[in-house]
Structure 1
Amino acid sequence: MNKKAILALAISAALVGCVDGNKVQETSQTAITSQSQNQQLENIVEAYFDEALALSPISATFVGEYQYNDQYSLPINAQNRAKQHALTQKYLTRIAALDADQLTGQSLLTFEIFQRDLRLAQEQERFPSYLIPIDQMNGEHNTFAGLGSGQSAQPFNTVEDYSNFIKRAEGFVVWLTSVEESMREGIKQGVVLPKVLAVKLLPQFQAHVVDDVTKSVFWMPVAAMPDTFSLAQKQQIEMQYSSLISKTLVPAYQKMSVFLENEYIPNSRSTVGYSDLPNGKAWYDAEIKSHTTLALSADEIHKIGLQEVERILGEMRKVKQQVGFEGDLVAFFNHLRESDEFYFNSAEEVIAAYEAVKAKIDARVPLLFEIAPKADYEVKAVEAFRAESAAGASYQSPAPDGSRPGIFYINTHNLKAQPKFILETLSIHEAAPGHHFQVALQQEVEGLPRIRKFGGYTVFEEGWALYAESLGKELGLFTDPYQWYGRLVDEQLRAMRLVLDTGLHAKGWTREQGIEFMMANSSMAQSDIISEVERYIAMPGQALSYKLGQFKIRELRDYCAKELGEQFDVKKFHSQILIDGALPMPILEQKIKRWVAQQQG
């Protein structure tokens, strides 16, 4: 038992010192039992986190555990899947031995989360996701390139750092070979990517097949070596990286490119939904459960989406009337798509505009929040090597030790996909008080177990970011009708996702049907729509999380306001949502209702 635990027990005993001896003994024993169970759980989850990081060195780097910086992910094979299964079972057995009734406070939340996640991991083992280990949206092939560019979490500050990445790169090549073998097995079993996604993978690998090593993304850290390095050290690193790129990485990327072009793409499938895969319906249901944490069927979600799309179209018509546009909504959409006045002329203009909005929003956040992260964030353009297939915007969390700020990435590859009218809503969503607030605060919570500090739930994270967008008017934003329209554009995108995701994976929709639906119900650029539809094809269930998470958080706010009446303080409500980190929605709901009961009582 640590010193804090002993101190807590001493205080507990002092507080009950005025009652009879038997009561003191009983109360102290209860405290000891509870503290013991809490401490045991803490020890268990910390041990699990350490073991899990050893199996996932890339994750370790991103959470600031640098002892594995010279290692790469384990190759994809039955032996390593068995290791992961054994780890999950080991810790399910360990927590089953705890007396959950004796857990209190954060420990109770940790137990509920940990047990749920381990059980879900075992359920997911039923499905052969290892046969489709990468796609155009997800995959360590892109993560690795980002690490090697020196623009991500991999440090390049010392000579040892440079040496570590060389060793990590050698591990990447071994892993990439296992990816090829798994995808080849996927061809045999009929578990392959749709052709429309498979062809998008090819340029991601071909981009790294270069004749001049200095043109490689992996040369960037070499070009930016610290001035503290000696001339001999710099020359040694240049020689090592030249060899690494030309003799190890380029051949590996070339080999994978040949496999994709000659074997995989010709054998990829013409269908797009998970329902067309072996056991695909059950697989998609599992993805819905995993991403949303809610007990909703594909049919229920599809219906909710259709209703929301119609509601938001009504709001868009009001904006059309407000700005005096003559013509129907389709004509208004075309006007917004095609008129140059709504678009930037350069990538530099895009970044500058978002930096200006950052300052505007930062000044207003205290109106609704009593807490804010210590870490700041920067606005950056998505790197060229991944821009073509990357999302329009994304957020990368700050380094836990404060050495690197959060990053709000804007994809400037296609300026028509970055209209001016989404400036405020996109900044709120990706940065403050959206993702940056939620993720950075989670990392900064004192005493939170690492599985929660660095863990997450799409439905919470994306639900919070979309809920944050809904706070724009309360923050004094969206005063320009076009900026309000931008908010509706973003909300409509998330509503359409409910329809598209379920349509594609449960109702037999084609890619073309998805594109047509989005074109008819939004003013998004066609190129952006195509990218979105292909994203939903690649990531079943993920896109459902935004709107469903927003609904649940708004529902909880309405519940708190009704139950607490004049006592309700929106700043304190926001603190309660954020202060314990990301939670599955059922656990968040239980927690908020306990908080309300405490306020009433």
Structure 2
Amino acid sequence: MNRIPLHFGLALIFSLFLACSKPMPETIPDSEINSWFDAEYEELLQMSPLQLTTQGRKDRYGEIDDMSEAAEDKKLAWMEESVAEMESKFDYKLLSPQAKVSYDLWKYQYEMEKKDVEFRRMNYVFNQMGGLHTMIPTMLINFHKVDEASDMTALVSRIKESGRAINQLLERAKLQTAAGVRPPKFAYEYVIQQSKALIQGQPFTDDKSNAPLWTDALAKIENLEKEGKITPEQAEEFRTNAMDALVSNFKPAYEELIAWLESELPNLEESPTGVSRHEMGNAFYAHKLKSSTTTDLTADQIHQIGLDEVKRIQQEMLVIKDQVGFEGDLKAFFKFVNSDPQFFFPNTDEGRQAYLDESTAFLDEIKQKLPDYFGILPKADLVVKRVEAFREQDGAPQHYNQGTPDGTRPGTYYVHLSDMNAMPKSTMEGVAYHEGSPGHHMQISIAQELESVPKFRTQMGFNAYVEGWALYSEALAKEMGQYKNPYYDFGRLVNEIWRAIRLVTDTGLHAKGWSEADAIKYFSENSSIAPGAIQAEVRRYMVIPGQATGYKIGMLKIQELRKLAEAELGEKFDLKAFHDVVLGGGALPLDILERVVKEWIAEVKASEQLQ
């Protein structure tokens, strides 16, 4: 028998005594780090008056963001300091799993912002999709609520400020042009059209109709007067001040913008390829893919995923074609559902209202089923509206604008209805679920209403997660018993193949030298989407590279994680619980979402073993 020497044994016992007597490090309470995050986020939020308004707050209510590069640099420096403070203040190993997610997200958003600034002259400042030239007026009309006289004073101030903001953006566009980066010609043609619409009518021109912002201002002033919150004299003063701000500040900025855009038209390409034609274009596109998908997938990998998904979905389409008894191949069926009058509402105001009414009816019906599939439900209301005339485009995709966290402004599902021939009935049901519930409205509203995470997480919007969830919701609606009309179920597949085609066409345009015509050809040959909608889609991809790839990549990841959970948990798998895990932490990068789901699977398994 071997014996431990006495001096060694005493030393071992002494070291064990010290180890046992030394206090184990305690975990950092979530409340401590969450309080720090909330204070930091409030400081960050105060840098953006428009973001404050988006959240229903009236801080800095008369201001519009500084749109300069210098302001971006200042924000990035602040974020860098904040991340450094977080890393020095909190030991990652002592954080709870939920707090670790918050820590990782705070650092992730800084790293992505840093990369965005590196490529900031690559993003087209003015384009037809989400340019600030239309976003600012849209926010003033829809988000800037006027409840008191002071709110109207703030609105007049913001109309003045919008001129300054547009001038700053114009300076940035000029810097971009000097760097050799120009959008396709159609982008500026659309922006010119949109900008002219904003300064058409009273008080800018002698037209009988009023310009959009003037209509809005008059209505808000009239409402204050009706409610007795201002006198007739004050109302007249507000009308005078609003008119002066529009004519003296807003109009000159837009006139200068239009003049510059028109001077640039001869320098723009009629039929360009994607951003790879620019210097640093390939690196920029790789960054946009990472930003949009929150993965490290390459353009080639995404392109192949798209090709595979298109092929798979077409097989499902053939099943429905045969189910409805259509004679002919899939292309002939595409042509049929894309042209037969039964699949379209009349191109009239009555037809437009019918589209809105039927979409609302679908959303009302599925709302009754949500408690069977979700434990967490949104409190905020949802409305379906037509896009304002000054920014409406034939065939442009529907979209969602979030409500306020406190529910005072509902979420809005916006529909472009200027051309009803580009809005088939067959796809309407799936799009309603995508934009409404259980899609964007439900996910974003739940995120905004979360109380268990720091506030910054309630406002995050990672593209692959947000759009992936919405596309997953279209398929989930079928499990919930929707799409009773087989043509509408076919429309669901049309919507899904649309997103798969995006993987092929977006990467084709920006990484493989495809022209607009190449992308339209592929789109047309593999879907039943209306020609007008296809052109609008392809032009969207060309001006916001990478964004369209997030939908299908995100959906595939959520479906993959659900299959994993079903396989791992067997009879213990609870779909409601899975959905609550996916939605219960706000939007996440896909790798972090995977981590969260796997942690939940492990917890369920552990609790089962304890029983």
TM-score calculated relative to the size of structure 2 = 0.90
Q: Secondary structure at the match of 2:85?
A: helix
Aligned residue number for residue 12 of structure 2 = none
Mean Cα deviation higher: 371-380 or 506-515: 371-380
Counterpart pick for 2:541 among 530, 536, 539: 536
Q: Secondary structure at the match of 1:550?
A: helix
Residues 395 and 422 in structure 2, CA contact (< 8 A), matched pair in contact too: no
Report the more deviating stretch, 92-101 or 437-446: 92-101
- The residue aligned with 2:77 is 86
* 1:423 and 2:428 correspond: yes
Instruction: Provide the residue aligned with 2:4 in structure 1.
Output: none
2-side partners of 1:254 and 1:276: how far apart?
30
Say whether 1:46 aligns with 2:38.
Answer: yes
Matched length: 573
In the alignment, what sits opposite 2:482? 477
Matched with 1:232 is 233
The residue that corresponds to 1:458 in the other structure is 463
- 1:200 and 1:389 in contact (8 A); partners too: no
The structure with more radius of gyration: 2
> Is the Cα–Cα contact under 8 Å of residues 131 and 185 in structure 1 kept in the other structure?
no
Paired AA for residue 367 in structure 2: D
Cα distance between partner residues in 2 of 1:477 and 1:487: 10
Q: Percent identity?
A: 33
AA aligned to 2:330 is L
Corresponding residue of 2:211:
216
Match of 2:52 in 1: 60
| Deviation (angstroms), 1:109 | 1.1
Q: 1:389 to 1:91 in 2, by over 3 A?
A: farther
1:541-552 matches, cutoff 5 A: 541-552=546-557
Tell me, what secondary structure is at the counterpart of 1:66?
coil
Superposition deviation, residue 40 in structure 1:
5.2
Instruction: Name the counterpart of 1:261.
Output: 262
Partner of 1:26: 23
SS in 2 for 1:68: coil
Offset at residue 44 of structure 1 (A):
3.8
Q: Identify the match of residue 158 of structure 1 among 135, 148, 169.
A: 148
Could you tell me how far 1:43 is from its partner in structure 2? 4.0
Amino acid in structure 2 at the alignment position of 1:565: G
Superposed CA deviations along residues 508-540 of structure 1, whole A, max 9, x for unmatched, are 100011111111111111000000001111111
Runs of 4+ in 1 over 4 A off after TM superposition: 22-25
- Compute the displacement of 1:564 (Å): 0.5
| Shift of residue 138, structure 1, vs aligned partner | 1.4
Aligned to 2:179: 189
Partner of 1:11: none
Larger deviation, residues 157-166 vs 358-367: 358-367
**How has the CA–CA distance of structure 1 residues 50 and 265 changed in structure 2, closer, same or farther, with 3 Å as cutoff?**
farther
Following the alignment from structure 1 to structure 2, what is the Cα–Cα distance between the partners of residues 392 and 81?
30
Question: How far did 1:88 drift?
Answer: 2.1
> Are 2:159 and 1:177 equivalent residues in the alignment?
no
The C-alpha deviation readout for 1:120-162, integer Å capped at 9, x for no partner, is: 221222213376322110122111111232xx21111211111
* Cα separation, 2, equivalents of 1:116 and 1:454: 15
Alpha-carbon spacing, 1:41–1:370, altered in 2? closer, same or farther (3 Å): closer
- Report the counterpart of residue 394 of structure 1 in structure 2: 399
User: 1:25 deviation in Å?
Assistant: 8.7
Q: What's the CA shift for 1:165? A: 1.5
Q: For residue 473 of structure 1, give the secondary structure of its aligned residue in structure 2.
A: helix
Provide the residue aligned with 2:563 in structure 1.
558
Task: Measure how far apart 1:235 and its partner are.
Answer: 1.2
2:119 aligned with 1:118, yes or no? Answer: no
Inter-partner Cα distance in structure 2 for 1:397 and 1:236: 33
**What secondary structure does 1:408 align onto?**
strand
In the alignment, residue 83 of structure 2 is paired with which amino acid? L
Match of 2:447 in 1: 442
Q: 1:491 to 1:505 in 2, by over 3 A?
A: same
Match of 1:138 in 2: 130
Q: Write the distance in 2 (CA, Å) between the matches of 1:65 and 1:25.
A: 49
Q: Does 2:188 match 1:201?
A: no
In structure 1, the residue corresponding to 2:405 is in which secondary structure? coil
Structure 2: 5+ residue stretches without partners: 1-16, 204-208, 607-611
Aligned to 2:5: none
In the alignment, what sits opposite 2:8? none
Q: Are the counterparts in 2 of residues 396 and 406 from structure 1 also a CA contact under 8 Å?
A: yes
Q: Aligned equivalents of 2:123 and 2:433: distance in 1?
A: 37
